[in-house]
Chains A and B, each alone.
Chain A
Amino acid sequence: MIKLQVRAQPSGFWTLASPLLALLITVLLGVVLFSLLGKDPVRALQMFFWEPIKSPYALGELVVKATPLLLIALGLAVCFRSNVWNIGAEGQYIIGAVCASGVALLGDKDTGSWIVMAVVLAGVLGGMVWAGITALLRDRFHANEILVSLMMVYVAVQVLGFLVYGPWKDPQGYNFPQTKNFDAVTRIPRLMDGSRMTIGVLFALLGVGTVWVFLFRTRAGFAQQVGGLAPAAARYAGFSARQALWTALLVSGGMAGLAGALEVAGPIGQLTPYVPAGYGFAAIIVAYVGRLHPVGLVFSSLLMSMFYIGGELAQSRLGLPKSLTGVFQGLLLFSLLACDTLVNYRLVRQAQAATGGSR
């Protein structure tokens, strides 16, 4: 019989290497999958791992998609490290986008460029409020935050739908469910010409630094994580569980809302029912693949972004279904969980160990 036994001190090397091993396993499984589908695996893998990085423009696109993933995953890392299971980042992202759009729609040609700050701020606040509802229900009524935050996603989708099919619908939009294009002055400034990257990238990188400092260099961040690792120890130390809950949800909600604002007022430029692209859910995988570590998240968000772009390319060029992206995400998370289990536990073959006793 094979048994799992806890390792007293997991290897530092394998803790870092396990995502790479998981990626390798994912690629191998991908090769098998493509072969079974009758496609050239080399060509298919090229779509995922070469096309997205082969030119400066492609790299820019990679970063455009990675930015919201990174922002959301940073917030989720804080959340998950505190043992608060916010599964509803997608909803907070949507409401962030909605609130940002609300402000952006107020702007016209004569508005000053200060409105960009207001747009971003509205997004952050929107996400915080949406996550705050979950925090409130958890705090006051002990409602399970996994269920509440997840269900709030569907409420957010309905809110978005109501607005774009109703009051915010562009009168000149041929009855399409979308708002008018935001005025240029309200759009998030581009980082450089010839690329769709916006200053959102800077927000994300700033976020990486801030979250790293918070988690690893401040006592508040330490307290936050103790609540997740050992609740009784947090109680013993006097770290407030309520404060940890609120911090976790407000931070992750704010980050998701920020991502929504940067996205809707950045590359998209108007509010449509297609704003929710699943970033909020994909960011959960990004968070875990990146070891809930801010620096790791940079890499995992780029990787996930590759999957998104590769999936689209595989659809347009190879005629493979776009849901391949989801398959890849799932495979990656699955193999990562398997690798992580082996980092923290060792396999003990009990039957063999015991028969040796006769010697």
Chain B
Amino acid sequence: MTFPRLELTGITKAYPGVVANSEVSLTVLPGQTHAVLGENGAGKSTLMKIIYGAIKPDAGQMRFNGQPVHIRNPKEARALGISMVFQHFNLFDTITVAENVWLGLDKSLSLDQVSERISSKARQYGLDIDPSRPVHTLGVGEMQRVEIIRALLTQPQLLILDEPTSVLTPQAVEKLFVVLQQLAAEGCSILYISHKLHEIRALCKACTVLRGGKVTGVCNPAEESNASLSRLMIGAEPPQLKHAVREPGAARLTVRNLRLTREDQFGVDLGGINLEVRAGEVLGIAGVSGNGQRELLYALSGEDRRAPQGSICMGEVDVSAQDPAARRALGLHFVPEERLGRGAVPTLSLAHNLLLTRTEAIAWRGFAGGWLQLAQLRAQAQRIIERFGVKANGPDAAARSLSGGNLQKFIVGREIDAKPALFIVSQPTWGVDVGASAQIRGAILALRDAGCAVLVVSEELDELFEICDRLQVIAHGKLSPSVAAGQATVAQMGEWMSGLWEAQA
């Protein structure tokens, strides 16, 4: 008889103050693609780390191919045939792709052989990557490809994927699904963690739903509706966003023929970007990471001030050479993709992190930049924490003590609270749970309805379709023509992401 590939019973893991997993049971059959669905904080990651041997459970049994196993560390997990692609990448920035992969292997292969294997796996599954590139030059999407290839290289029997599609083009998602289906057909079991219901329905035949560390349901997602899955997952249906039709106002941001050579040798040259964002509209920029989004946003925010004169205007003002503070004074507020280290200083309190972009709590600006009124600053931080439902230990909590989603809510809140005239946000909901994502998207739409011009750069097409009025696609440092969100299709966007709009135009 055949045993289940993986069988968990009664897995419990408690941390001080929070039970991450409570009596969780999970059965994955050979060749089955099994979804694990749940909000951030529902205990999915803890459960996966227990399976992968990175965390020890307080109680519970684990069987692999029918045998009771005690996996003490990820190395033993890999030896058993369990591989994992983490949501947060475990890559060293300063060394190359091949060296990173090589570090995780048992050193029986030379670096050249590893490079060779990476290239062949990459070709086999259509995951385009150059093994000799240093990791710090890769975009998030490319880093994920490295992680997936790294996992595939170990010929796993059970592959765990944590939110793998959020950085892929629709075509690449389809390709990945082909890869996963191929793997499943070869007998590899897959644990697929996601909150994207339609993907789970397309890919998985079984699904375990977690909420608050407990299993709230085991079902076949193909037979469930979005609403019923949402109920299992968050106990309620997510609020529907209201997208009122509005006539946009005057142009708040105009970019004309913005050309920039790359700052770093593996960056992307911007080749004549043209765009316009008007008051009361949301413009979305889609595209796979590493196609010039980073460079464009650096130029728009003022962190990179090499833009040619006249290429970036806010209203009538040419801001091409102005620094971020000057642009902020004109009403530009920007939420960068990197939260820790760019959007917030990890070791400083939330209150002090307000000072990066907010000046309300500063008195006597003339001398030494102004006097900090700490009580006022704390009160301001507290207001933002309450208004945006940030789960944090008060305004004095260090930024790095917050979960990614909560820190994102705080940063987005900090910028939205400033009542911007022009709001630019990159990856607004990357790694943020369903409830918080809906909240952030709702806040962006409210901003638009209040007459703010909004530019959203995201790799999640669903998100862009949900909140944008117009869409443009960035590929190879160039920007496609704009198309109304109502008229755009996923297939067309996907083609444009490969830079194929000129052929159609």
Contact = CB atoms under 8 A, between A and B. Distances in A.
Contact of A218 (B73, B302, B343, B372): B372
Given A216-B372, A219-B359, A233-B344, 18 more contacts: A8-B400, A9-B397, A9-B401, A217-B374, A218-B372, A222-B352, A226-B356, A229-B348, A232-B342, A233-B356, A235-B342, A238-B328, A353-B56, A355-B72, A356-B56, A357-B70, A357-B71, A358-B72
Nearest to A223: B369
Contacts of A277: none
A265 to B, nearest CB: 29
B325 A229 contact: no
A144 to B, nearest CB: 18
B369 A230 contact: no
Interface string A206-217: 000000001011
Ranked nearest first, the 8 interchain pairs of A and B with the lowest CB-CB distance are A219-B369, A238-B324, A357-B56, A238-B325, A354-B72, A358-B70, A220-B369, A237-B356
B57 interface: yes
A226 B57 CA distance: 39
B12 to A, nearest CB: 11
A357 B370 contact: no
B323 A222 contact: no
A350 B73 contact: yes
A238 B336 contact: no
Nearest to B338: A232
Interface string B60-78: 0000000000111100000
B302 A238 contact: yes
Given A238-B326, A357-B56, A229 B347 contact: yes
A75 interface: no
A357 B56 CA distance: 4
Interface string B362-403: 100101111110100000000000000000010001101100
A109 interface: no
A266 interface: no
Among A8, A221, A222, A238, find the residue whose CB has the most chain B CB atoms closer than 10 A.
A238
B372 A222 contact: yes
A12 to B, nearest CB: 10
Contacts of A355: 56, 70, 72
Contacts of A233: 341-345, 356
Contact of A230 (B71, B325, B345): B345
B356 A236 contact: yes
Interface residues of A, number: 31
Given A238-B325, A238-B328, A219 B362 contact: yes
A221 B368 CA distance: 8
B346 interface: yes
Interface residues of B, number: 48
Nearest to B325: A238
Interface in B319-338: 323-326, 328, 334, 336, 338
B368 A219 contact: yes
12 contacts: A6-B400, A8-B400, A9-B401, A216-B372, A217-B371, A219-B368, A222-B352, A233-B344, A236-B342, A238-B302, A238-B323, A359-B56
Given A354-B73, A357-B56, A220 B368 contact: yes
B46 interface: no
Contacts of B326: 238
Contacts of A354: 53, 56, 72-73
Nearest to B323: A238
A237 B324 contact: yes
Contacts of B50: 357
A24 B125 CA distance: 60
Nearest to B356: A237
Nearest to A9: B401
A346 B367 CA distance: 41
A218 B369 contact: yes
A174 B400 CA distance: 65
Nearest to B304: A235
B59 interface: yes
Main secondary structure of the interface of A (DSSP, over half): helix
Interface in A238-252: 238, 240
A212 to B, nearest CB: 12
B357 interface: yes
Contacts of B73: 350, 354
Contacts of A238: 302, 323-326, 328
A9 B301 CA distance: 31
Contacts of A218: 367-372
B184 to A, nearest CB: 28
A219 B369 CA distance: 5
A230 B341 contact: yes
Interface in A1-39: 6, 8-9
A353 B58 CA distance: 11
Interface in A134-152: none
Nearest to B59: A359
A356 B60 CA distance: 12
Contacts of B397: 9
B438 interface: no
Contacts of B58: 359
A232 B345 CA distance: 9
Nearest to A226: B345
Interface string B269-312: 00000000000000000000000000000000111000000000
Contacts of A217: 371-372, 374
Nearest to A356: B56
B355 interface: yes
A216 B302 CA distance: 27
A182 B296 CA distance: 63
Contacts of A237: 324-325, 355-357
Contacts of A240: 323
A44 B484 CA distance: 83
B56 A219 contact: no
Contacts of B56: 353-357, 359
A346 to B, nearest CB: 13
Among A216, A219, A235, A356, find the residue whose CB has the most chain B CB atoms closer than 10 A.
A219
A236 B303 contact: yes
Contacts of B398: 8-9
A8 B368 contact: no
A233 B399 CA distance: 12
Given A9-B401, A355-B72, A222 B355 contact: yes
B473 to A, nearest CB: 25
A226 B353 CA distance: 10
B72 A357 contact: yes
Contacts of B346: 229-230
B418 to A, nearest CB: 13
Contacts of A351: 72
A157 B480 CA distance: 63
B338 A219 contact: no
